[in-house]
Structure 1
Amino acid sequence: MSQRLHFLKHYSMRHFRKDVSAGVIVGIIAIPLGMAFAIASGVKPEYGIYTTIIAGILISIFGGSKYQIGGPTGAFVPVLLGIVMAYGYENLLIAGFMAGVLLLLMGIFRLGALIKFIPRPVIIGFTSGIAVIIFTGQIPNFLGLSDIEKHEHFLSNIREIIIHLSSINIYSVLTAAVCFFFIFITPKFMPKIPSPLIGLLVSSIAAAFFFPGQVATIASAFGEIPHSLPAFHIPEFTLEKIHLLLGPAFTIAILGAIESLLSAVVADGMTGTKHNSNKELVGQGIANLITPLFGGIAATGAIARTATNIKNGAVSPVSGVIHGLAVLLVLLLLAPYASAIPLASMAPILMVVAWNMSERKAFKRILLTKTSDSLILFVTFILTVFANLTIAVEVGLLLSVVLFVKRMSDSLKVKQVLPDPADKKVRASIVEEGLDCPQISLFTIEGPLFFGAAQLFEQTIMGAIHYRPNVLILRMSKVPYMDTTGEAILQSIVKDFQKQGGLILISGIQPQPLDVMKRTKLWDTIGKERFFAHTGEAIDFSLTKLDIDKCKGCKQFAFHECTELSAGHEKEKQSEKGLLA
């Protein structure tokens, strides 16, 4: 905590004024978003406000990014809605609390850096899928459809919309259109004023003035928003509930970790600072531990609000605290007015959020590559929309691993080579042209020697040395990594070759494979004196182990020494002829 307050040493009143200004602006933006995300998640709007206040303040105090603004976000909408529909609101709070524990543990055990290993196609895929779910989920409010029943699955919700299209409310459409108009037009003329707020206010006033009582409001759908602080409440925890909600809690925790750290990275890029990923996870964990005790929903770092915070001059975490306090003040003073906001005014705000978070450009760019990443992206996207986020992320990650292993196994190349007489550099083309040495086999291995490629390695080596040469040289300077499976296959080749009386030499081995060999004693099996830094040294050594009788008369001339060795046989024949004469 002392490190967190280190910035106060150089903090001035000028800095405070900037933080207040940025915090108030972001707080004003956060109010409609908090309510909208709560409604879209299947809970009362005030729970979104409570989350914005409590989580927003705690994340700023305990998190690892100076500029992070925390609160409810669109990424959680389909997840939370699914939990509410399957388990109920009370269990949603328990799942949120458990997610807080998981996030806290992730930070304590320094797992923040691991989030970067989640492939970008998976992130883009589920983010775009979430955007589709949020956008389509707001169509009923936009059109003012009545008797709409929410479902957990996308197709059921689309079917519900189609069935009730006849109940379209023209006043809701007009209200939503007004909000949309001001959201798009405000930035062009008043760029410093939050356009969602202008759209919300103007459309709400228009609906109340021109067609009062004709459009569903927050009050008519959810009741009046209380103008008081939320009550402290500990949910009823049982082992059965904990076991039941462990999966949903894990999904919330992983999604919260990903989005908060992505937001922190965006903030780093905008400010030139560096966040502490593990501390950020601790802050997220604390926020998600405490927020459910006041009825709040899951929270994480909000990229758009964090960016707005920075653009409006924030200099420290104080702005995040001010943002939470500003929302609290509005709750205490203006709750009755918030209750009169039409649902049709909230819909365009979430639709714009969905559009902005859709990552459509990145989505299109990855698809156009027509690579394995395109498949991962498409599968993750489809499963997010038509199944659920948990399945989508699990399958996306599994598919990423499988395709990565496939790519790595394809990258392994095992080629039999020989020195080129022209420049003495080893090339596979020399062997392919028909030259070979019956006593020395020389192989170049390129790429990681791991479980996905070990079988190819074994088949290539054993298939090529069926004639049992005296010496087998393995050039391993381009093998950056070897796992225990690769080592086991290599050990099998070594033992089989040595059993037949052959000699194995290794040249140019890298540190990691060498370390594995030493740990498994393969280093001792081969023999320390049979490891060489350069291929030339290994070849020179192998030439001393040749059966000279087999060299005499050989016409392969694989090495430049072969000419002399073969010529020796011709001289002997000529000597014998001379003696006979």
Structure 2
Amino acid sequence: MERFAGYNISALRRDLISGTIVGIIAIPLGMAFAIASGVDPEYGIYSTIVAGVMISLFGGSKFQIGGPTGAFIPILFGIVMHYGYDNLLLAGFMAGIILILLGVFRLGVLIAFIPRPVVTGFTAGIAVIIFSGQIANFLGLSGIEASDKFGVNMKEIALHLGTVNGPSVITAAVCLLIIVLLPRVLPQVPASLAGLIVSSTVAALFFQGKVATIGSAFGAIPSTLPQFHFPVITWDRIEMLLYPAFLIAVLGGIESLLSAVVADEMSGSKHHANRELIGQGIANMAAPLFGGIPATGAIARTATNIKSGAASPLSGVIHGIVVFLVLILLAPYASEIPLSSIAPLLMLVAWNMSERREFLRIAKTRTSDSFLLLITFLLTVWVNLMTAVEVGLILAVILFVKRMSDGLTVVNGRLDGTEGDIGAEAQDRECPHPCQITIEGPLFFGSSNRFEKAMSRGMPHESVAVVLQLDKMPYMDMTGEYKLAAYIQPILNAGGVVFVRGIQPQPLAMMKKTGLYRLIGENRFLEKSG
């Protein structure tokens, strides 16, 4: 409990203030993310309460605020479309188990190895999907058939542009103006909540019955938490939902750890990656038991928590309690919020999460990284997120191997003079000018063919004395060792001698494991020459 070390009344006061502020901000976001994910708005609130408290209590980041996030929208919407809400709950529960296993086996560090262009690409793609998915609500279009395919949604919008609803556009515009302008005038006031309240009031006074609301689209929001319900688990359902659950877990892990890193930078604290994954897992196992959708660390809410003076994880618990109290007391009023008021809120979320500056910065480099970025982005938008991440990672590995293989150079020559043991043995074999081969760069499966071709050009096997200069070869795998041994063996079979000079620890350890060290001879491994 080092996160509560030195806790006092002053810290409690700070947590109460920050938790209340973040709780108020989280209410409209929770409903908006749920609606955009294809489920009733109260399920986003349930997740905000349950998962938000669990993430703060059991996570590895001192100031992390958890709940539904925009990053999940395309995934959850697709699951709801194909499998239904009940199966979404089970997929979220399974994702929680996967996250706990990742944390228990200390695999949190693996998520950090996902290349930045891949993360930026799918984040920007998700932002496009969220933004475009709210155009219909912003314009008040009717007759739209929702789909989890970007192209289909764009076609639907184009076909129904003639159904634009003027009152919906005005309501959305009022909300958008408040969200954009209010932070410049009154930064201490939650702009998203103010935008919803004012635009909802405008719609109620001037456009009664002319604008679709949460209540008209989804029914009244109940003012209580649902009863505890454990999902029905069968092997067939597990097999069917394993892929979606894995995707939820991976994206949730990435998002939560990114948020934890942001919190570290802002607060000077240090998060525990594996404990954070375990906390996220517990939260995502608990939320579905109360009807909540999957949750993760929310970067914007976490940043607000820190800026508001949070002192400990208790602020996250208070944020969940505040949301619960609002649900109990004000649920009937939330049902009157227009869908066109929620649209600009989600559009702004998409704009803020798009990482447009980082996207353009990488794209302008015109390197393999910019290619990786664009492929991941396009696949996210036009196919789906999982395909984008899979292809992005595979391409990243291929490009990495290509870069590493290009970094291998092999230079051969003759020693003009000889010294020490090299000179003595070379003279004994009537070879006054031994062949020297200098290998620079990693010798592994990706560079083995390059090495083999280099060795076949001007590398005479008739040399009875060969010096391998390896001080600039940092790594060698089994394939590289096999290719090197294939060159050395004929020389030794012909009665020649091979010296290895300046070898680094990893290649030396590999040679000892495979027996090549003994074959060459311990006394022929020499220190790097001056």
For 2:518, the aligned partner's letter is D
Does residue 266 (structure 1) correspond to residue 230 (structure 2)? The answer is no
For 1:30, the aligned partner's letter is A
Map 1:437-476; keep pairs closer than 5 Å. Answer: 440-466=434-460, 468-476=462-470
Match of 1:360 in 2: 356
Does residue 478 (structure 1) correspond to residue 459 (structure 2)? The answer is no
**Residues 8, 365 of structure 1: alpha-carbon distance in 2 compared, 3 angstrom cutoff:** closer
- CA RMSD of superposed structures (Å): 1.4
Q: Is the 8 A contact 1:439 1:469 kept in 2?
A: no
Deviation at 1:194, TM superposition (A): 1.1
Deviation at 1:535, TM superposition (A): 3.9
Q: Is the 8 A contact 1:508 1:534 kept in 2?
A: yes
Structure 1: where are the runs of 5+ without partners? 425-436, 537-581
For 1:296, the aligned partner's letter is G
Does residue 505 (structure 1) correspond to residue 505 (structure 2)? The answer is no
Does residue 391 (structure 1) correspond to residue 371 (structure 2)? The answer is no
**Residues 294, 372 of structure 1: alpha-carbon distance in 2 compared, 3 angstrom cutoff:** same
Does residue 525 (structure 1) correspond to residue 489 (structure 2)? The answer is no
Greater CA drift, 320-329 or 188-197: 188-197
Does residue 181 (structure 1) correspond to residue 177 (structure 2)? The answer is yes
Counterpart secondary structure, 2:500 = strand
Which has the larger Rg? 1
Counterpart secondary structure, 1:117 = coil
Q: Is the 8 A contact 1:74 1:353 kept in 2?
A: yes
Cα distance per residue 1:57-110 (max 9 Å; x no partner): 000000000100000000000000011111111111111000000000011111
For 2:486, the aligned partner's letter is S
Match of 1:303 in 2: 299
Counterpart secondary structure, 1:207 = helix
Aligned length: 518
**Residues 448, 76 of structure 1: alpha-carbon distance in 2 compared, 3 angstrom cutoff:** same
Deviation at 1:466, TM superposition (A): 3.4
**Residues 529, 467 of structure 1: alpha-carbon distance in 2 compared, 3 angstrom cutoff:** closer
Q: 2:404 aligns with which of 382, 404, 408?
A: 408
Match of 1:225 in 2: 221
Does residue 53 (structure 1) correspond to residue 45 (structure 2)? The answer is no
Deviation at 1:499, TM superposition (A): 2.0
Match of 1:252 in 2: 248
For 2:81, the aligned partner's letter is M
Q: Is the 8 A contact 1:475 1:535 kept in 2?
A: no
Cα distance per residue 1:151-194 (max 9 Å; x no partner): 12110011111111111101000000000110111011101111
Deviation at 1:500, TM superposition (A): 2.7
**Residues 531, 140 of structure 1: alpha-carbon distance in 2 compared, 3 angstrom cutoff:** same
How many angstroms apart in 1 are the aligned matches of 2:4 and 2:35? 38
Q: Is the 8 A contact 2:47 2:293 kept in 1?
A: yes
How many angstroms apart in 2 are the aligned matches of 1:38 and 1:145? 20
For 1:125, the aligned partner's letter is G
Match of 2:73 in 1: 77
**Residues 156, 438 of structure 1: alpha-carbon distance in 2 compared, 3 angstrom cutoff:** farther
For 1:481, the aligned partner's letter is Y
Match of 1:370 in 2: 366
For 2:473, the aligned partner's letter is V
Deviation at 1:452, TM superposition (A): 0.4
Cα distance per residue 1:206-248 (max 9 Å; x no partner): 1101111110000000000001112211222110110111110
How many angstroms apart in 1 are the aligned matches of 2:13 and 2:137? 39
Q: 1:198 aligns with which of 194, 210, 214?
A: 194
How many angstroms apart in 2 are the aligned matches of 1:502 and 1:171? 90
Deviation at 1:127, TM superposition (A): 0.2
For 2:520, the aligned partner's letter is I
Q: 1:170 aligns with which of 151, 166, 172?
A: 166
How many angstroms apart in 1 are the aligned matches of 2:174 and 2:449? 65
Does residue 494 (structure 1) correspond to residue 491 (structure 2)? The answer is no
Q: Is the 8 A contact 2:214 2:339 kept in 1?
A: yes
Match of 1:382 in 2: 378
How many angstroms apart in 1 are the aligned matches of 2:494 and 2:364? 53
Q: 1:339 aligns with which of 325, 332, 335?
A: 335
Match of 1:128 in 2: 124
How many angstroms apart in 2 are the aligned matches of 1:517 and 1:118? 31
Q: 1:32 aligns with which of 28, 31, 38?
A: 28
For 1:220, the aligned partner's letter is S
Deviation at 1:459, TM superposition (A): 2.0
Deviation at 1:472, TM superposition (A): 1.4
Counterpart secondary structure, 1:297 = coil
Does residue 63 (structure 1) correspond to residue 59 (structure 2)? The answer is yes
Match of 1:565 in 2: none
For 1:415, the aligned partner's letter is V
Map 1:275-294; keep pairs closer than 5 Å. Answer: 275-294=271-290
For 2:297, the aligned partner's letter is G
Counterpart secondary structure, 1:202 = helix
Match of 1:553 in 2: none
How many angstroms apart in 2 are the aligned matches of 1:465 and 1:419? 14
Cα distance per residue 1:524-579 (max 9 Å; x no partner): 0111111111347xxxxxxxxxxxxxxxxxxxxxxxxxxxxxxxxxxxxxxxxxxx
Q: Is the 8 A contact 1:135 1:355 kept in 2?
A: yes
How many angstroms apart in 2 are the aligned matches of 1:526 and 1:275? 48
Does residue 21 (structure 1) correspond to residue 23 (structure 2)? The answer is no
For 2:497, the aligned partner's letter is L
Deviation at 1:419, TM superposition (A): 6.0
Deviation at 1:504, TM superposition (A): 1.3
Deviation at 1:438, TM superposition (A): 8.8
Q: Is the 8 A contact 2:414 2:433 kept in 1?
A: no
Match of 2:144 in 1: 148
How many angstroms apart in 2 are the aligned matches of 1:406 and 1:309? 43
For 1:352, the aligned partner's letter is L
- Identical positions, percent: 61
Structure 2: where are the runs of 5+ without partners? 419-430
Cα distance per residue 1:387-419 (max 9 Å; x no partner): 000000000000000000000000001111456
The structure with higher relative contact order (CA 8 Å, sep 6+) is 2
For 1:529, the aligned partner's letter is N
Match of 1:563 in 2: none
Task: With the length of structure 1 as denominator, give the TM-score of the two structures.
Answer: 0.88
Q: 1:139 aligns with which of 135, 141, 155?
A: 135
For 2:355, the aligned partner's letter is E
Q: Is the 8 A contact 1:50 1:296 kept in 2?
A: yes
For 2:509, the aligned partner's letter is D
Match of 1:317 in 2: 313
Counterpart secondary structure, 1:10 = coil
Match of 1:115 in 2: 111
Match of 1:557 in 2: none
Q: Is the 8 A contact 1:78 1:130 kept in 2?
A: yes
Deviation at 1:465, TM superposition (A): 2.0
